[in-house]
Amino acid sequence: MSLPQTPSFRLDGRRAIVTGAGRGIGLALAAALAQAGAAVTLLARSAPEIVDAAARIRAEGGAAEAETVDVLDLAAVAGFFSARPAFHVLVNNAGTNHPKSILEVTEHDYDAVLDLNLKSAYFVAQSAARRMIEEAIVGSMIHVGSQMGHVGGLRRSLYCASKWGLEGVSKAIALDLAPHGIRSNVVAPTFIDTPMTKPFFEDATFKAMVLQKIKLGRIGTVEDLMGAVLFLAGDASALVTGTSLLIDGGWTAG
């Protein structure tokens, strides 16, 4: 009798899309998907970064294209997805943060964070799912959440609201789409060294607090997320849906 065979982590022949893909986590996840054989679309609201990123992926032998769409423009999002073949993998990554005490938060701050981190992710998933169902695609949705979707954080009330919300949305999406063979999961990282977080770590007190909370003793890198997303994107996670994969160095363990 032959041994069971490990499901492949390869994504050859599949189409993937990553929002907010110009730099940081989004760029790394687009690169990971391309390195696994997927044809990747990098999506962002401004062209220069994603055009350069797609060119860098192609220079290494990957398949990548850049598309300029503002995910806050829901009509543009719907039009984009309806006008092209369905994707097998969606990575909902576009996001922002306005770290302020609840005593300082304005309505503008609230709308900026919740609209991008939660509302746009919701409707991007909706548009992607409609096309996947139309083409009978068995696929995977991966939403980039945060450990702050599992705990509270000082000066993070808006960010926590958006990421806790994303956790709930992903679970509900998983139930809605399971009959169609479409999975929905979250990756929830700790603080990752990216252009967005770099200014935070210029505060020595804040950096020391973060390192004390991360039990493995280091700030995360984008490479720490790449394998997790490959797992959730492909056949190795075929029975995984409606869950959250914490990549937090032990932050939420205690």
| Residue 63 counted as domain residue | yes
Average pLDDT, the chain: 97
User: What is the pLDDT, as a whole number, of residue 220?
Assistant: 97
Residue pLDDT, tens place only, 63-77 = 999 999 999 999 999
Query: Is residue 1 pLDDT above 90, yes or no?
Result: no
How many domains is the chain built from? 1
| Residue 214 counted as domain residue | no
| Residue 6 counted as domain residue | no
Residue with tokens 């990548």: 64
DSSP for residue 249: T
Query: Is residue 198 pLDDT above 90, yes or no?
Result: no
User: What is the pLDDT, as a whole number, of residue 138?
Assistant: 97
Catalytic residue among 81, 122, 159, 191: 159
CATH of the domain at 74: 3.40.50.720
Domain limits for position 187: 15-193+221-244
**Is 159 in the active site?**
yes
Confidence band of 171 (pLDDT split at 50, 70, 90): very high
Residues 6+ apart with CB under 8 A from 36: 9, 10, 11, 12, 230, 233, 234
CB 193 within 8 A of CB 224: no
| Residue 215 counted as domain residue | no
| Residue 142 counted as domain residue | yes
| Residue 129 counted as domain residue | yes
Q: Which of 23-27, 65-69, 195-199 has the lowest mean pLDDT?
A: 195-199
Whether the predicted model's global pTM rises above the 0.95 cut: yes
The Cα 240–Cα 186 span in angstroms is: 11
Q: How far is CA 72 from CA 88, 107, 112, 198, in A?
A: 22, 17, 10, 25
Residue pLDDT, tens place only, 64-114 = 999 999 999 999 999 999 999 999 999 999 999 999 999 999 999 999 999
| Residue 141 counted as domain residue | yes
